A and B are shown apart, each in its own frame.
Chain A
Amino acid sequence: MSDQILEVRDIHTFIGQFHILEGVSVGVPAGNITVLLGRNGAGKTTTLRSIMGLTPPARGQILFDGKNIAGKHPHAIAQMGIGFVPEHRAIFRELTVHENLQIAERKHGDLARKSEFIFDLFPDLQRLIDLPGGNLSGGQQQMLAIARALVPDNHLLLIDEPSEGLAPVIIEQLMAAIKRLAETCSVLLVEQNFRVASRLAQQYVIIEEGHSPASGEMGSLIHDSDLIQRYLGVA
């Protein structure tokens, strides 16, 4: 068995009549942070949603812990141990912070067991525990979205654009938290902010127009200005 917790092999995904992913392959080594890089509309979010079963691929394989999960229902995929932190957080605005965490329990007592770790990672949430999710700031909502994915025993977290729209000081806090939680599970991250991505991830995969033309060690990408310029438009 390979040391990769997730292997996405040549997936093709359609949204309506549009062929969004035209053969994307992604490997996520166990215990690492892997980042999907690419311009807006390249297919990064669709890749995460395809893994999660929310926009299931029409063909291709998605192996999680060696088992093909392509075509399974989202709830079944989540129950196998994949946590999802979507773009724009998807916090339940009418539910309190506590209820937002409680709903993520897969076994009774998950939250009680994990609360010390979660509140150590995001101390603000303990203070806001009885507030409705809709009353939280953008940064607090992002913390809650990540915390929610930590309640059950997930082996892989899919995190979509965690730094989007947040102040630099909040981004620093989130980065520190993601680094710490990556000690307990593998992470596949979508991140537009290359500076943030390069500091967090050990591996990268570039997504470009529904394909995955390049991947490798983040350390080598940082020094490859041609690749960065060609696919990310970052000087």
Chain B
Amino acid sequence: MSRTNRSSLIAILVIIGGLVAVAFVNSSSLGNFGITLLSGLFQGMLLFLVASGLSIIFGLMDVLNFAQGAYFMVGAYVAYDAQHAGGLIDLTQAIPDPNLRFPIAVLIAMIVGALLGIILERGLLRPLYARPIYQLVLTFGVALVMAEIIKFLWTTTPYSWTEVFGVRDSFFELFGQRFSTYRLFVVGMGIALIVLIALLLRRSRIGIIIRAGVEDREMVQALGINVQTVFTLVFTLGCAIAALGGAVAAPFLGASTTLGDIFLLQAIAVVVLGGMGSYEGTAIGSIMVGLAVAVAQDAAIGTSFSALPSITPMLLLVLVLLLRPSGLFGNAR
């Protein structure tokens, strides 16, 4: 193991160990400690769904997609709409069973996210690849436009998820405490996705091309590979995964126009602290930030530091950058 990897590993162990220790000390019982950990992992997995796309898109294309949070928000609205009666996509008649309707609602959200991703990449971003500042302004503008379209379609009133389905409404008991099965389901799905994307990057030809493109895009082209097609694929995949995140978050967090902003800011912190463009860094960074936010939420209860959870990702980012200026797995570039 190289010295850089060793110092990254030590930093990760110290930070995660510290967070778990603080969570343990702060908790009044083992049950509470478990709830904080599960809540941290749940938030970490949702963050991963936004940050993974952000990180891979940045690494390969040098595009910091400020609209990634908006795709998360679109996912939440579309899934909500498809699951509940009276919306734009009313599936309640066609699929009366809410347990069956939910995965279809999630799938529709992913398809909408993917289609919007293709439109943004092919239609708007492609002419601006040589102009990074224009791209930044464009994606920021697209996020604002998407938020306005959502307000037009679904009004500004936040939606709370009311249509219960099996896994959303079930609980299990551990250490005398009730745990949400749905949170566990999202954590499991997030872990499965981390493994799946890692396998895609490590084992498939497209994964090798993406990893090579992160290092040297020009050389990939000189080997006869059409990088533009790979850009479209990666961008679409990143947007679809963000929409998936929003869709699975909606049963817990509902759908609101501020949802995207919260996750985007945290995801940017994850991508930078993990090391720009590093997939491993993004996965570990997401878990770290999720845990840190959960610990901060727990610590803020009953105190006047209600802003603590929202500033925690940035505090963690500062701490990591002080230890490793290029992020946990980043190369100085």
Contact = CB atoms under 8 A, between A and B. Distances in A.
A92 B212 contact: yes
Chain A interface mostly: loop
Range of interface residues on chain A? 20 to 34
A172 B208 CA distance: 32
B212 A95 contact: yes
A103 interface: yes
Contact of B224 (A54, A75, A94, A99): A75
A133 to B, nearest CB: 9
Interface residues of B, number: 18
Given A73-B226, A102-B205, A78 B212 contact: no
A67 interface: no
B223 A73 contact: no
B222 A103 contact: no
B215 A148 contact: no
A92 B219 contact: yes
Contacts of B97: none
Interface in A113-140: none
Contacts of A106: 224
A53 to B, nearest CB: 8
Is the contact region of chain B dominated by helix, strand, or loop, or is it mixed? helix
A95 B227 CA distance: 18
B215 A92 contact: yes
A95 B222 contact: no
B332 to A, nearest CB: 13
A79 interface: yes
Interface in A31-84: 52, 54, 73-75, 78-79, 84
A90 B216 contact: yes
19 contacts: A52-B222, A54-B221, A54-B222, A74-B222, A75-B221, A75-B224, A75-B227, A78-B221, A78-B222, A90-B219, A92-B211, A92-B212, A92-B215, A95-B208, A102-B205, A102-B208, A103-B220, A104-B223, A104-B224
Closest 4 CB pairs of A and B: A78-B224, A74-B221, A90-B219, A84-B222
Interface of A: 52, 54, 73-75, 78-79, 84, 86, 90, 92-95, 99, 102-104, 106, 148, 152
